[in-house]
Amino acid sequence: MTLSQRLKRARRSLSVAAAGARMLRSTGLIGAVPPLAFARYLRDLRVHGYSGPFSIPHLHALADPLRPAVVAGDVRLSYGELDARINRLAHGLHRLGVGPGDRVAMLLRNGHEYVELNAAYGHLGAMGVQIGYRLKPKEVAYILENSGAKALVFHAGYADVVEEALAESGRPPREACIAAPGPVEEGVPLARASGFPSYEELLRAGDPDAPPTVRGGGFGGVMVYTSGTTGRAKGAKRDFRRTGLEPVLNFMASIPIRHDERHLVTCPLYHSAAPAFVALTFIVGGCIVIVDHFDPPSILRTIERERITSSMMVPTMYNRLLQVGLGEIRKRDLSSLRWLISGAAPLPTELARQIEEAFGPILYNFYGATETGFVTLAKPGEHTARPGTIGRLVGGNEARLLGGDGREVAIGEVGELYVRNAMLVDGYHGNDEATRAAQREGFFSVGDLARRDADGYFYLADRKHDMVISGGVNIYPFEIEQRLHQHPAVLDAAVVGVPDAEWGESLAAFVVLRDGKACGADELKQFVAAELADYKRPRQVLFVDTLPRTPTGKVLKRELRARLATAYTESG
């Protein structure tokens, strides 16, 4: 190793240590874990093979075994109980043949099983494969086959989907498919999972005191299949043994997360954002409260009843939450809330203003991706003071905005956002072509376009594949969507490009109106033109009941383009 490389490594180590110290001070963890518990934890790391991020619940179980860890429906688990269940499950998976490098697929709705599994397979050095429960059998079969899953854990109501997927893919073996009687669709009989091994039986046979000692165990990893807004999903693979902590520690030091955290989980745990905030909550020894579906009045009751201190939601959820009305929101005692955070999809500035009006100046907005982890953070007030900002870089990140020629663009100009940090995924599983296409000199892009101002604040312009070129001019639909959201009658909006014989492409806006509000297409076109250049005015405005979205709130614009190509006619 050269002197330059040694110095670079030393600087990185000092930077991580400084970030860790800031996090310990800001979260109140210093003094919260007794020295004796920490010493026992270090001993167990060595003796029992604990290692990696999955061992954190064990630390808090040693510090305070009765401390609340998980609330999911009627299930309430302390850290001591959670630790015991994780150990039992690790033994059960090990008996099924799961070991280092193997993949454990999960087809689950939100519930405590996710939390237990994510730690158990990690103890074995395995990798978790998240499968969305809305997927059809062929889609599930593709993920099972593509990932090479050795085992599958699923909620019992999806047994029919599993049966078809197994027949389609031929893996994993039936005896390695575990049925959990957790939350399922209303009215779905659990008896349909008969013939599969039981999740609870798997736990009962395991040792609660320590996970199995496995050579090469610990750390593990995760494979998340991208939401596929543009085509077939890709498996973004992250090995936790090679994942650095600096961006995570800096992110934690920048938000008011504390040792007494009670975090409400509303987003799907099979994606990336929700598990990330679960992990942050466990690091500080907090409690997660998991809800299985998003019902705004129920969410408000849960925040009040469980004394929730924080929650991460996507913009669509915040929009729905606000629809209950300020009067109803203010009837609830929500004084326990310290911070709310938005992510996973663009946050309209008008929506940010309404959230702060309803809940106070506690709204954070972050940008990141499955492939990159935490990249930028906007703090309360910044989004409305600097409309559209996603904040500044979280410490430990480097970013480049590159033009079509591969060169960095000037301040204020739009370029493709490339990120480098210690959290980058290893690439897309089995897809070297897609991995190479996303990388440049160690920087990674998921296809987002952005600009940066002179103060270092970033602003999303759009997705690269959503940009419209009309008459040779680049148009970013997100800018027009932001304007449409400012109209008092508009609840939701999405803008896409459509083929145009004269201009190459023209703009079509899909609009969802608020209940009881009326508005014409011409009025909205004029509303856009009052603030934006004429060429940004939609040629078509189509009124719809809802917009097709992924579970994390991203609009499926390919579906909107398909509607235009087939059935839709202009409303105005």
Q: 50 pLDDT exceeds 80? A: no
DSSP at 321: H
What does pTM read for this prediction?
A: 0.84
User: Domain ranges in the chain?
Assistant: 80-225, 467-566
Predicted local distance difference test score (pLDDT) of residue 533: 79
Mean pLDDT of 166-181: 89
Res. 184 pLDDT band, cuts 50 70 90: low
> How far is it, in rounded angstroms, from Cα 288 to Cα 69?
6
Q: Over pLDDT 90: what percentage of the chain?
A: 56
User: Nearest CA to 538 among 491, 488, 490, 479?
Assistant: 479
User: Nearest CA to 205 among 85, 361, 100, 48?
Assistant: 85
CATH of 467-566, one of 3.20.20.60, 3.30.300.30, 3.20.80.10, 3.60.20.30: 3.30.300.30
Q: Would you report the helix, strand and coil content of the chain in percent, each value rounded to 5?
A: 40, 25, 40
User: Nearest CA to 285 among 551, 37, 22, 487?
Assistant: 37
Check: CB of residue 530 under 8 Å from CB of residue 542. Answer: no
Letter for the amino acid at 539?
Answer: R
Predicted local distance difference test score (pLDDT) of residue 477: 86
Q: Which residue has the higher pLDDT, 564 or 571?
A: 564
- What separation, in Å, do the N-terminal and C-terminal C-alpha atoms of the chain show? 67
Q: Which residue has the higher pLDDT, 4 or 516?
A: 516
Q: Over pLDDT 70: what percentage of the chain?
A: 93
Q: 566 pLDDT exceeds 80? A: no
Q: 430 pLDDT exceeds 90? A: no
Check: CB of residue 544 under 8 Å from CB of residue 511. Answer: yes
CATH code linked to domain 80-225: 3.40.50.980
The two domains 80-225 and 467-566 share their CATH topology (first three levels equal): no
Predicted local distance difference test score (pLDDT) of residue 175: 87
Q: Which residue has the higher pLDDT, 113 or 135?
A: 113
Phi (first) and psi of residue 517, to 5 degrees:
-105, 145
Letter for the amino acid at 413?
Answer: E
DSSP at 568: -
Rounded to the nearest angstrom, the gap between the alpha carbon of residue 112 and the centroid of all alpha carbons in its chain is: 17
Query: Which runs of E-coded beta strand occur in 335-372?
Result: 339-342, 363-369
Q: Picking from 5-9, 253-257, 259-263, which range would have the lowest pLDDT averaged per residue? A: 5-9
Check: CB of residue 463 under 8 Å from CB of residue 449. Answer: yes
Q: 23 pLDDT exceeds 80? A: yes
Question: How high does pLDDT run on average in the chain?
Answer: 88
Q: Picking from 208-212, 275-279, 539-543, which range would have the lowest pLDDT averaged per residue? A: 208-212
Q: In 10 A of CB 526, how many CB atoms?
A: 11
User: Nearest CA to 560 among 568, 570, 551?
Assistant: 568
Q: Which residues 6+ apart lie within 8 Å of 7 measured at CB?
A: none
Predicted local distance difference test score (pLDDT) of residue 183: 61
> How far is it, in rounded angstroms, from Cα 182 to Cα 521?
46
Rounded to the nearest angstrom, the gap between the alpha carbon of residue 571 and the centroid of all alpha carbons in its chain is: 35
- Strands 448-452 and 458-463 turn out to be antiparallel
Using only C-alpha atoms, what is the Rg of the chain?
24
* 289 bridge partner residues: 71, 264
Q: Give start and end residues of each alpha helix (H) in 348-422.
A: 349-359, 382-385
Mean pLDDT of 342-353: 87
What pLDDT digit, counting tens, does each position of 387-427 carry? 989 999 999 999 999 998 889 999 999 999 999 999 999 88
